[in-house]
A = this chain, B = another copy of it.
Amino acid sequence: MSQPLRLGIAGLGTVGMGVLHILRQHGDMLKQRTGRDIVISAVSARSRNKDRGVSLAGYGWEDDPVALAQRDDVDIFVELMGGSEGPAKEATEAALRAGKQVVTANKALLAIHGQALAELAESKGSAIRYEAAVAGGIPVIKTLVEGLAGNEITRVMGVMNGSCNYILTRMEDAGKSYQDIFAEAEGLGYLEADPQLDVGGIDAAHKLAILSALSFGTRVDFDGIQLEGIEQITIEDIRAAADMGFKIKLLGVAQKTGRGLEQRMQPCLVPETSPLGQLDGGTNMVVLEGHAVGQIVLRGPGAGEGPTASAVMADICDLARGWTGPVFNQPADTLETPTPALSQRPAPYYLRMALVDKPGAMAKIAAVLGEAGVSINRMRQYEHSDVSAPVLIVTHKTNRSDLDRALAAMDGTGVMAGPVVALRIEEV
Protein backbone atom coordinates (compact mmCIF):
# COMPACT_ATOMS: atom_id res chain seq x y z
CA MET A 1 0.00 0.00 0.00
CA SER A 2 1.24 3.47 -0.88
CA GLN A 3 2.01 6.12 1.70
CA PRO A 4 -0.86 8.40 2.70
CA LEU A 5 -1.04 11.70 0.86
CA ARG A 6 -0.83 14.50 3.42
CA LEU A 7 -2.57 17.81 2.88
CA GLY A 8 -2.11 21.22 4.42
CA ILE A 9 -5.23 23.31 3.83
CA ALA A 10 -4.95 27.10 4.00
CA GLY A 11 -8.33 28.79 4.14
CA LEU A 12 -11.41 27.31 5.82
CA GLY A 13 -14.13 29.36 4.20
CA THR A 14 -16.87 27.85 2.06
CA VAL A 15 -14.55 25.96 -0.25
CA GLY A 16 -12.11 24.83 2.42
CA MET A 17 -14.92 23.43 4.54
CA GLY A 18 -16.36 21.74 1.46
CA VAL A 19 -13.06 19.95 0.90
CA LEU A 20 -12.88 19.01 4.56
CA HIS A 21 -16.38 17.52 4.44
CA ILE A 22 -15.62 15.38 1.39
CA LEU A 23 -12.41 14.08 2.97
CA ARG A 24 -14.18 13.24 6.23
CA GLN A 25 -17.28 11.67 4.73
CA HIS A 26 -15.92 9.91 1.65
CA GLY A 27 -12.45 8.80 2.71
CA ASP A 28 -13.03 5.14 1.87
CA MET A 29 -14.35 5.95 -1.60
CA LEU A 30 -11.37 8.19 -2.32
CA LYS A 31 -8.97 5.50 -1.16
CA GLN A 32 -10.60 2.88 -3.37
CA ARG A 33 -10.36 5.20 -6.37
CA THR A 34 -6.85 6.54 -5.84
CA GLY A 35 -5.26 3.64 -3.99
CA ARG A 36 -4.13 5.92 -1.15
CA ASP A 37 -5.32 7.39 2.08
CA ILE A 38 -5.70 11.12 1.73
CA VAL A 39 -5.28 12.82 5.10
CA ILE A 40 -5.21 16.36 6.44
CA SER A 41 -2.04 17.05 8.41
CA ALA A 42 -2.72 20.64 9.32
CA VAL A 43 -4.84 23.65 8.52
CA SER A 44 -4.61 27.41 8.64
CA ALA A 45 -7.32 30.06 8.67
CA ARG A 46 -7.94 33.58 9.88
CA SER A 47 -9.69 32.47 13.05
CA ARG A 48 -8.86 29.30 14.92
CA ASN A 49 -11.84 29.41 17.22
CA LYS A 50 -14.68 30.23 14.85
CA ASP A 51 -17.50 27.68 15.12
CA ARG A 52 -17.36 25.72 11.87
CA GLY A 53 -19.64 22.91 13.03
CA VAL A 54 -16.71 20.51 12.77
CA SER A 55 -13.91 19.95 15.23
CA LEU A 56 -10.43 20.74 13.96
CA ALA A 57 -8.87 18.97 16.96
CA GLY A 58 -7.39 16.17 14.88
CA TYR A 59 -5.44 18.51 12.64
CA GLY A 60 -2.32 20.53 13.23
CA TRP A 61 -2.81 24.29 13.23
CA GLU A 62 -0.72 27.12 11.82
CA ASP A 63 -1.58 30.78 12.19
CA ASP A 64 0.75 31.53 9.29
CA PRO A 65 -0.05 29.89 5.95
CA VAL A 66 3.63 30.17 4.99
CA ALA A 67 4.50 27.98 7.95
CA LEU A 68 1.78 25.53 6.89
CA ALA A 69 3.20 25.43 3.38
CA GLN A 70 6.61 24.44 4.70
CA ARG A 71 5.60 21.75 7.18
CA ASP A 72 7.41 18.44 6.83
CA ASP A 73 4.16 16.53 7.16
CA VAL A 74 2.54 18.30 4.20
CA ASP A 75 2.86 16.85 0.67
CA ILE A 76 0.27 19.08 -0.97
CA PHE A 77 -0.39 22.67 -0.02
CA VAL A 78 -4.05 23.42 -0.70
CA GLU A 79 -4.44 27.17 -1.13
CA LEU A 80 -8.04 28.29 -0.65
CA MET A 81 -7.49 31.81 0.68
CA GLY A 82 -7.81 33.76 -2.56
CA GLY A 83 -6.35 37.03 -3.77
CA SER A 84 -3.53 37.54 -6.22
CA GLU A 85 -1.16 39.05 -3.66
CA GLY A 86 -0.39 38.75 0.02
CA PRO A 87 -0.62 35.50 1.97
CA ALA A 88 -1.93 33.39 -0.93
CA LYS A 89 1.02 34.30 -3.13
CA GLU A 90 3.60 34.14 -0.38
CA ALA A 91 2.44 30.78 0.90
CA THR A 92 2.17 29.29 -2.59
CA GLU A 93 5.71 30.39 -3.39
CA ALA A 94 6.93 29.03 -0.08
CA ALA A 95 5.26 25.68 -0.77
CA LEU A 96 6.82 25.43 -4.22
CA ARG A 97 10.24 26.43 -2.95
CA ALA A 98 9.92 23.70 -0.33
CA GLY A 99 9.23 21.21 -3.12
CA LYS A 100 5.55 20.76 -2.26
CA GLN A 101 2.80 20.37 -4.79
CA VAL A 102 0.09 23.01 -4.82
CA VAL A 103 -3.63 22.78 -5.41
CA THR A 104 -5.43 26.10 -5.57
CA ALA A 105 -8.78 27.61 -6.50
CA ASN A 106 -7.19 31.01 -6.98
CA LYS A 107 -7.90 32.39 -10.46
CA ALA A 108 -6.46 35.83 -9.75
CA LEU A 109 -3.15 34.37 -8.56
CA LEU A 110 -2.79 32.22 -11.68
CA ALA A 111 -3.97 34.93 -14.08
CA ILE A 112 -1.52 37.49 -12.72
CA HIS A 113 1.46 35.44 -11.55
CA GLY A 114 0.92 32.19 -13.45
CA GLN A 115 4.08 32.29 -15.52
CA ALA A 116 6.41 33.00 -12.61
CA LEU A 117 4.72 30.37 -10.45
CA ALA A 118 4.87 27.82 -13.26
CA GLU A 119 8.58 28.45 -13.75
CA LEU A 120 9.21 28.12 -10.03
CA ALA A 121 7.16 24.92 -9.80
CA GLU A 122 8.81 23.32 -12.80
CA SER A 123 12.30 24.24 -11.59
CA LYS A 124 11.50 22.26 -8.45
CA GLY A 125 9.78 19.38 -10.25
CA SER A 126 6.52 20.34 -8.54
CA ALA A 127 3.00 20.65 -9.88
CA ILE A 128 0.37 23.34 -9.50
CA ARG A 129 -3.20 22.21 -10.12
CA TYR A 130 -6.11 24.65 -10.28
CA GLU A 131 -9.24 23.03 -11.69
CA ALA A 132 -11.41 25.00 -9.26
CA ALA A 133 -10.04 28.31 -10.56
CA VAL A 134 -12.10 28.15 -13.75
CA ALA A 135 -15.85 27.55 -13.98
CA GLY A 136 -16.28 26.07 -10.50
CA GLY A 137 -17.45 22.48 -10.59
CA ILE A 138 -17.03 22.01 -14.34
CA PRO A 139 -13.82 20.03 -14.99
CA VAL A 140 -12.92 22.33 -17.87
CA ILE A 141 -9.14 22.38 -17.37
CA LYS A 142 -9.04 18.59 -17.34
CA THR A 143 -11.22 18.43 -20.42
CA LEU A 144 -9.08 20.95 -22.28
CA VAL A 145 -5.63 19.71 -21.30
CA GLU A 146 -6.28 15.98 -21.14
CA GLY A 147 -9.60 15.18 -22.81
CA LEU A 148 -8.70 17.22 -25.89
CA ALA A 149 -4.93 16.55 -25.76
CA GLY A 150 -4.97 15.39 -29.38
CA ASN A 151 -6.51 18.64 -30.58
CA GLU A 152 -5.14 21.88 -31.80
CA ILE A 153 -7.55 24.18 -29.97
CA THR A 154 -9.20 26.61 -32.34
CA ARG A 155 -11.47 28.62 -30.05
CA VAL A 156 -12.53 28.77 -26.41
CA MET A 157 -15.65 30.58 -25.25
CA GLY A 158 -17.50 30.78 -22.04
CA VAL A 159 -19.97 32.31 -19.67
CA MET A 160 -17.86 32.00 -16.55
CA ASN A 161 -19.24 34.45 -14.02
CA GLY A 162 -22.46 33.20 -12.53
CA SER A 163 -23.22 36.50 -10.81
CA CYS A 164 -23.24 38.40 -14.10
CA ASN A 165 -25.36 35.74 -15.74
CA TYR A 166 -27.72 35.85 -12.78
CA ILE A 167 -28.04 39.63 -13.07
CA LEU A 168 -28.67 39.58 -16.83
CA THR A 169 -31.16 36.71 -16.59
CA ARG A 170 -32.94 38.24 -13.64
CA MET A 171 -33.20 41.67 -15.28
CA GLU A 172 -35.09 40.05 -18.14
CA ASP A 173 -37.32 37.89 -15.92
CA ALA A 174 -38.20 40.69 -13.51
CA GLY A 175 -38.22 43.47 -16.10
CA LYS A 176 -36.07 45.56 -13.80
CA SER A 177 -33.09 47.83 -14.25
CA TYR A 178 -29.46 46.87 -13.86
CA GLN A 179 -29.27 49.00 -10.72
CA ASP A 180 -32.25 47.27 -9.11
CA ILE A 181 -31.00 43.77 -9.78
CA PHE A 182 -27.43 44.63 -8.84
CA ALA A 183 -28.73 45.75 -5.44
CA GLU A 184 -30.78 42.56 -5.16
CA ALA A 185 -27.78 40.36 -6.01
CA GLU A 186 -25.61 42.20 -3.53
CA GLY A 187 -28.26 41.76 -0.84
CA LEU A 188 -28.37 38.02 -1.54
CA GLY A 189 -24.59 37.76 -1.12
CA TYR A 190 -24.09 36.78 -4.77
CA LEU A 191 -21.34 39.32 -5.41
CA GLU A 192 -17.68 39.49 -4.41
CA ALA A 193 -16.72 41.91 -1.61
CA ASP A 194 -15.51 44.13 -4.45
CA PRO A 195 -18.43 43.70 -6.87
CA GLN A 196 -16.38 45.23 -9.68
CA LEU A 197 -14.56 41.89 -9.87
CA ASP A 198 -17.86 40.38 -10.98
CA VAL A 199 -19.75 43.01 -12.94
CA GLY A 200 -16.62 44.56 -14.41
CA GLY A 201 -15.79 41.19 -15.94
CA ILE A 202 -12.46 40.91 -14.10
CA ASP A 203 -13.17 37.58 -12.42
CA ALA A 204 -14.34 36.05 -15.70
CA ALA A 205 -11.33 37.55 -17.48
CA HIS A 206 -8.97 35.90 -14.98
CA LYS A 207 -10.53 32.59 -15.98
CA LEU A 208 -10.31 33.37 -19.68
CA ALA A 209 -6.62 34.25 -19.36
CA ILE A 210 -5.96 30.83 -17.83
CA LEU A 211 -7.91 28.98 -20.52
CA SER A 212 -6.08 30.91 -23.26
CA ALA A 213 -2.68 29.90 -21.96
CA LEU A 214 -3.74 26.27 -21.73
CA SER A 215 -5.26 26.34 -25.19
CA PHE A 216 -2.74 28.18 -27.29
CA GLY A 217 0.68 27.51 -25.79
CA THR A 218 1.05 31.13 -24.73
CA ARG A 219 2.01 32.74 -21.44
CA VAL A 220 -0.98 33.75 -19.40
CA ASP A 221 -1.77 37.34 -20.43
CA PHE A 222 -4.52 38.92 -18.37
CA ASP A 223 -3.51 42.42 -19.47
CA GLY A 224 -4.02 41.47 -23.12
CA ILE A 225 -7.75 40.90 -22.62
CA GLN A 226 -10.16 43.35 -24.20
CA LEU A 227 -12.37 43.81 -21.16
CA GLU A 228 -15.84 45.27 -20.77
CA GLY A 229 -18.28 44.64 -17.95
CA ILE A 230 -22.06 44.50 -17.85
CA GLU A 231 -22.65 47.82 -16.07
CA GLN A 232 -23.84 49.54 -19.24
CA ILE A 233 -26.42 46.90 -20.18
CA THR A 234 -29.95 48.25 -19.81
CA ILE A 235 -33.27 46.51 -19.56
CA GLU A 236 -34.08 48.18 -22.89
CA ASP A 237 -31.17 46.36 -24.53
CA ILE A 238 -32.20 43.05 -23.02
CA ARG A 239 -35.74 43.52 -24.29
CA ALA A 240 -34.67 44.69 -27.71
CA ALA A 241 -32.23 41.78 -28.07
CA ALA A 242 -34.98 39.36 -27.08
CA ASP A 243 -37.24 40.93 -29.66
CA MET A 244 -34.65 40.07 -32.31
CA GLY A 245 -34.16 36.50 -31.00
CA PHE A 246 -31.03 37.07 -28.91
CA LYS A 247 -29.82 36.95 -25.33
CA ILE A 248 -27.12 39.19 -23.88
CA LYS A 249 -24.33 37.30 -22.11
CA LEU A 250 -21.01 38.34 -20.62
CA LEU A 251 -19.05 36.14 -22.97
CA GLY A 252 -15.34 35.38 -23.01
CA VAL A 253 -13.80 34.42 -26.32
CA ALA A 254 -10.18 33.44 -26.99
CA GLN A 255 -8.73 32.59 -30.34
CA LYS A 256 -5.28 32.57 -31.92
CA THR A 257 -5.14 34.25 -35.30
CA GLY A 258 -2.40 35.23 -37.73
CA ARG A 259 -2.24 38.60 -35.97
CA GLY A 260 -1.85 37.25 -32.47
CA LEU A 261 -3.94 36.17 -29.53
CA GLU A 262 -7.44 37.57 -29.43
CA GLN A 263 -8.96 37.57 -25.95
CA ARG A 264 -12.24 39.32 -25.34
CA MET A 265 -14.50 39.45 -22.30
CA GLN A 266 -17.51 41.56 -23.12
CA PRO A 267 -21.30 41.55 -23.30
CA CYS A 268 -22.31 39.89 -26.55
CA LEU A 269 -25.53 38.81 -28.17
CA VAL A 270 -25.98 35.10 -28.79
CA PRO A 271 -28.97 33.37 -30.41
CA GLU A 272 -31.56 32.57 -27.77
CA THR A 273 -31.82 29.02 -29.13
CA SER A 274 -28.08 28.29 -28.75
CA PRO A 275 -26.74 26.47 -25.68
CA LEU A 276 -25.16 29.72 -24.48
CA GLY A 277 -28.41 31.59 -25.10
CA GLN A 278 -30.31 29.08 -23.01
CA LEU A 279 -28.02 29.40 -20.02
CA ASP A 280 -30.02 30.91 -17.20
CA GLY A 281 -29.07 32.05 -13.74
CA GLY A 282 -25.80 31.25 -12.00
CA THR A 283 -24.81 28.31 -14.19
CA ASN A 284 -21.55 28.41 -16.17
CA MET A 285 -20.91 27.15 -19.67
CA VAL A 286 -17.66 26.65 -21.53
CA VAL A 287 -17.42 25.87 -25.22
CA LEU A 288 -14.20 24.22 -26.41
CA GLU A 289 -13.41 23.83 -30.09
CA GLY A 290 -10.64 21.61 -31.43
CA HIS A 291 -9.50 20.71 -34.92
CA ALA A 292 -10.38 17.03 -34.49
CA VAL A 293 -13.25 16.97 -32.03
CA GLY A 294 -15.26 19.92 -33.31
CA GLN A 295 -17.24 21.50 -30.51
CA ILE A 296 -17.63 20.33 -26.91
CA VAL A 297 -19.99 22.18 -24.56
CA LEU A 298 -19.69 21.86 -20.80
CA ARG A 299 -22.34 23.17 -18.42
CA GLY A 300 -22.48 23.16 -14.66
CA PRO A 301 -22.39 25.10 -11.42
CA GLY A 302 -19.75 27.83 -11.47
CA ALA A 303 -19.49 28.40 -7.74
CA GLY A 304 -20.61 27.21 -4.33
CA GLU A 305 -19.21 24.96 -1.63
CA GLY A 306 -19.91 21.56 -3.18
CA PRO A 307 -19.00 22.32 -6.81
CA THR A 308 -15.79 24.16 -6.00
CA ALA A 309 -14.73 21.54 -3.46
CA SER A 310 -15.47 18.88 -6.10
CA ALA A 311 -12.97 20.54 -8.45
CA VAL A 312 -10.33 20.88 -5.71
CA MET A 313 -10.76 17.19 -4.88
CA ALA A 314 -10.28 16.23 -8.54
CA ASP A 315 -6.85 17.85 -8.43
CA ILE A 316 -5.99 16.23 -5.12
CA CYS A 317 -7.04 12.81 -6.43
CA ASP A 318 -4.96 13.23 -9.58
CA LEU A 319 -1.92 14.06 -7.49
CA ALA A 320 -2.70 11.13 -5.18
CA ARG A 321 -2.48 8.92 -8.27
CA GLY A 322 0.88 10.47 -9.07
CA TRP A 323 -0.38 12.25 -12.17
CA THR A 324 1.57 15.42 -12.71
CA GLY A 325 2.46 17.48 -15.74
CA PRO A 326 3.43 20.98 -16.77
CA VAL A 327 1.46 23.79 -15.12
CA PHE A 328 0.18 25.25 -18.40
CA ASN A 329 -0.12 22.18 -20.63
CA GLN A 330 3.49 22.39 -21.85
CA PRO A 331 6.72 23.33 -20.07
CA ALA A 332 6.61 26.95 -18.90
CA ASP A 333 9.84 27.81 -20.73
CA THR A 334 8.26 26.78 -24.06
CA LEU A 335 5.23 29.05 -23.72
CA GLU A 336 5.25 31.93 -26.19
CA THR A 337 4.67 35.54 -25.21
CA PRO A 338 1.47 36.39 -27.05
CA THR A 339 0.84 39.45 -29.16
CA PRO A 340 -2.55 40.81 -28.11
CA ALA A 341 -4.76 41.25 -31.15
CA LEU A 342 -8.13 42.89 -31.49
CA SER A 343 -10.62 40.79 -33.35
CA GLN A 344 -10.34 41.28 -37.08
CA ARG A 345 -13.01 38.72 -37.77
CA PRO A 346 -16.09 40.41 -39.14
CA ALA A 347 -19.18 39.90 -37.02
CA PRO A 348 -22.74 41.09 -37.10
CA TYR A 349 -23.51 43.84 -34.60
CA TYR A 350 -26.54 44.94 -32.66
CA LEU A 351 -27.03 48.71 -32.63
CA ARG A 352 -29.56 50.51 -30.47
CA MET A 353 -30.03 54.23 -30.85
CA ALA A 354 -32.55 57.01 -30.40
CA LEU A 355 -33.11 59.29 -33.37
CA VAL A 356 -34.66 62.72 -33.25
CA ASP A 357 -38.21 62.46 -34.47
CA LYS A 358 -38.12 64.29 -37.76
CA PRO A 359 -38.43 63.26 -41.40
CA GLY A 360 -35.29 61.89 -43.02
CA ALA A 361 -33.54 60.90 -39.77
CA MET A 362 -33.58 57.22 -40.54
CA ALA A 363 -32.43 57.86 -44.09
CA LYS A 364 -29.39 59.75 -42.83
CA ILE A 365 -28.37 56.88 -40.55
CA ALA A 366 -28.86 54.32 -43.30
CA ALA A 367 -26.75 56.42 -45.62
CA VAL A 368 -23.92 56.81 -43.10
CA LEU A 369 -23.87 53.06 -42.49
CA GLY A 370 -23.84 52.35 -46.21
CA GLU A 371 -20.99 54.78 -46.84
CA ALA A 372 -18.90 53.05 -44.18
CA GLY A 373 -19.58 49.70 -45.82
CA VAL A 374 -21.87 48.46 -43.04
CA SER A 375 -24.85 46.60 -44.43
CA ILE A 376 -28.18 46.40 -42.57
CA ASN A 377 -29.64 42.94 -42.03
CA ARG A 378 -32.68 43.85 -39.95
CA MET A 379 -34.02 47.16 -38.69
CA ARG A 380 -36.89 48.03 -36.40
CA GLN A 381 -38.24 51.38 -35.38
CA TYR A 382 -40.50 51.23 -32.36
CA GLU A 383 -43.62 53.18 -31.61
CA HIS A 384 -42.82 56.04 -29.31
CA SER A 385 -44.40 58.94 -27.57
CA ASP A 386 -41.52 61.22 -26.70
CA VAL A 387 -39.37 63.32 -28.95
CA SER A 388 -36.94 60.61 -29.95
CA ALA A 389 -37.55 57.40 -31.87
CA PRO A 390 -35.98 54.15 -30.67
CA VAL A 391 -34.32 52.25 -33.50
CA LEU A 392 -32.70 48.82 -33.53
CA ILE A 393 -30.40 47.61 -36.23
CA VAL A 394 -28.80 44.21 -36.73
CA THR A 395 -26.01 44.54 -39.26
CA HIS A 396 -24.64 41.95 -41.60
CA LYS A 397 -21.09 40.87 -40.79
CA THR A 398 -18.86 43.90 -40.65
CA ASN A 399 -15.37 44.81 -39.57
CA ARG A 400 -15.21 46.60 -36.26
CA SER A 401 -13.16 49.35 -37.92
CA ASP A 402 -15.88 49.98 -40.52
CA LEU A 403 -18.45 50.02 -37.76
CA ASP A 404 -16.40 52.46 -35.69
CA ARG A 405 -16.16 54.74 -38.71
CA ALA A 406 -19.92 54.59 -39.14
CA LEU A 407 -20.52 55.26 -35.43
CA ALA A 408 -18.24 58.33 -35.60
CA ALA A 409 -20.01 59.62 -38.69
CA MET A 410 -23.43 59.19 -37.07
CA ASP A 411 -22.46 61.77 -34.48
CA GLY A 412 -22.13 64.34 -37.25
CA THR A 413 -25.58 63.78 -38.74
CA GLY A 414 -27.44 65.88 -36.20
CA VAL A 415 -30.21 63.27 -35.93
CA MET A 416 -28.88 61.31 -32.96
CA ALA A 417 -30.80 61.81 -29.72
CA GLY A 418 -28.15 60.03 -27.62
CA PRO A 419 -25.22 57.63 -27.76
CA VAL A 420 -25.41 54.39 -29.75
CA VAL A 421 -25.21 51.06 -27.95
CA ALA A 422 -23.19 48.65 -30.12
CA LEU A 423 -22.84 45.00 -29.09
CA ARG A 424 -21.18 42.22 -31.01
CA ILE A 425 -23.28 39.24 -32.04
CA GLU A 426 -21.12 36.18 -31.48
CA GLU A 427 -21.42 33.16 -33.71
CA VAL A 428 -21.74 30.18 -31.37
Q: Contact between B330 and A309 (Cβ–Cβ < 8 Å)? A: no
Q: Contact between A294 and B301 (Cβ–Cβ < 8 Å)? A: yes
Question: Per-position contact with B for A20-64: 1 when CB-CB < 8 Å, else 0?
Answer: 001000100110111100000000000000000000000000000
How far in angstroms is the closest Cβ of chain B from A149?
Answer: 4
Question: Per-position contact with B for A307-335: 1 when CB-CB < 8 Å, else 0?
Answer: 10111111011100111011001110010
Say if the beta carbon of A210 comes within 8 Å of chain B. no
Say if the beta carbon of A299 comes within 8 Å of chain B. yes
**Please, which residues of chain B bring their CB within 8 A of the CB of A311?**
147, 293
Flag the segment in A3-11, A134-142, A158-166, A228-236 that touches B. Answer: A134-142
Which residue in B292, B309, B334 is a CB contact (below 8 Å) of A150? B309
Q: Contact between B149 and A142 (Cβ–Cβ < 8 Å)? A: no
Which residue in B150, B322, B329, B331 is a CB contact (below 8 Å) of A313? B150
Say if the beta carbon of A143 comes within 8 Å of chain B. yes
Which residue in B33, B309, B329 is a CB contact (below 8 Å) of A33? B329
Size range of the interface on A? 35 or more
Q: Contact between A146 and B152 (Cβ–Cβ < 8 Å)? A: no
State in angstroms the CA–CA spacing of A32 and B330 once bound together. 6
**Please, which residues of chain B bring their CB within 8 A of the CB of A146?**
139, 142, 146, 314, 317-318
Once A297-B299, A299-B297, A306-B291 are accepted as A-B contacts, the answer to whether A314 and B137 lie under 8 Å apart by CB is no
State in angstroms the CA–CA spacing of A314 and B290 once bound together. 13
State in angstroms the CA–CA spacing of A322 and B323 once bound together. 8
Q: Contact between B310 and A34 (Cβ–Cβ < 8 Å)? A: no
Q: Which residue of B lies closest to A299 (CB)?
A: B297
How far in angstroms is the closest Cβ of chain B from A62?
Answer: 24
How far in angstroms is the closest Cβ of chain B from A274?
Answer: 9
Say if the beta carbon of A151 comes within 8 Å of chain B. yes
How far in angstroms is the closest Cβ of chain B from A425?
Answer: 20
Q: Contact between B29 and A152 (Cβ–Cβ < 8 Å)? A: yes
Q: Contact between A295 and B290 (Cβ–Cβ < 8 Å)? A: no
Once A294-B137, A300-B297 are accepted as A-B contacts, the answer to whether A30 and B306 lie under 8 Å apart by CB is no
Say if the beta carbon of A201 comes within 8 Å of chain B. no
How far in angstroms is the closest Cβ of chain B from A198?
Answer: 21
Which residue in B22, B273, B292 is a CB contact (below 8 Å) of A292? B22
Q: 22 A-B pairs, CB-CB below 8 angstroms? A: A18-B292, A22-B292, A26-B150, A33-B325, A34-B325, A131-B147, A139-B143, A139-B146, A139-B147, A146-B314, A146-B318, A147-B314, A148-B310, A148-B314, A150-B309, A150-B317, A273-B278, A293-B301, A294-B306, A296-B299, A296-B300, A297-B299
| A interface, CB within 8 angstroms of B | 18, 22, 26, 29-30, 32-35, 131, 137-139, 142-143, 145-152, 217, 273, 275, 278, 290-301, 304, 306-307, 309-314, 316-318, 321-323, 325-326, 329-331, 334
